[in-house]
């Protein structure tokens, strides 16, 4: 098993995207980082999915200071580096694009690319399984207007309209 795992690790620079072991390795390796952030640093508002992380704080200087400490910890303790595309911004201005959604303080929207693909699937009369998959995304966001428009569009444009419903 160890030989097999090393073969997977050595087959690419970093962990291969899409490989099931990448999910396991990411969670296993970053568990120590998660504990350090929560317990030692006392960061209450921290979210991570694989290698995507979100930190929330009251002001930008706090986040810049935290970023510096995180870079040092990752480099020394885990031999990792942050990608240079990190961002520090006010959430209220543009929301957090994370996990397929854009999250604002008062509401949640579907990520624009997912919403566009959903609309195209409805327009092209995709199989019901595809529509249901997008409805699964939609039920966790503020999509009442979107679903209303898609249902209206279907009823006006198609000979056999479907009803979009979230269960």
Confidence (pLDDT) at 145: 87
Query: Looking at the predicted structure, is the pLDDT value of residue 159 above 50?
Result: no
Query: Looking at the predicted structure, is the pLDDT value of residue 163 above 60?
Result: no
Query: Looking at the predicted structure, is the pLDDT value of residue 97 above 50?
Result: yes
pLDDT single digits (tens) 17-75: 667 777 788 888 899 999 999 999 999 899 998 888 999 888 899 999 999 999 999 99
Confidence (pLDDT) at 17: 67
Q: Does the global pTM surpass 0.85?
A: no
Q: 110 and 137 in contact (C-beta within 8 Å)?
A: yes
Compare 34 and 90 and report the one with higher pLDDT. 34
Confidence (pLDDT) at 93: 82
Confidence (pLDDT) at 161: 40
What tokens does 100 get? 């397929």
Q: How far is CA 58 from the centre of its chain?
A: 22
Distance CA 50, CA 5 (A): 18
Confidence (pLDDT) at 14: 61
- What percentage of the chain has pLDDT greater than the value 90? 40
In DSSP notation, 120-148 reads: HHHHTT--HHHHHHHHHHHTTS--HHHHH
């Amino acid at each position: 098993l160890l030989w097999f795992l090393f073969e997977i690790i050595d087959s690419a620079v970093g962990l291969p995207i899409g490989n099931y072991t990448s999910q396991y390795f990411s969670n296993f390796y970053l568990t120590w980082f998660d504990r350090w952030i929560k317990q030692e640093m006392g960061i209450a508002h921290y979210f991570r999915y694989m290698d995507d992380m979100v930190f929330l704080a009251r002001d930008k200087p706090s986040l810049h200071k935290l970023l510096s400490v995180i870079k040092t910890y990752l480099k020394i303790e885990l031999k990792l580096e942050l990608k240079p595309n990190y961002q520090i911004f006010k959430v209220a201005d543009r929301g957090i694009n994370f996990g397929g959604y854009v999250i604002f303080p008062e509401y949640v929207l579907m990520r624009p690319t997912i919403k566009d693909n959903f609309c195209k699937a409805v327009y092209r009369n995709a199989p019901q399984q595809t529509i249901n998959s997008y409805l699964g995304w939609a039920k966790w966001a503020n999509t009442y207007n979107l679903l209303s428009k898609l249902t209206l569009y279907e009823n006006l444009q198609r000979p056999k309209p479907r009803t979009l419903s979230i269960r």
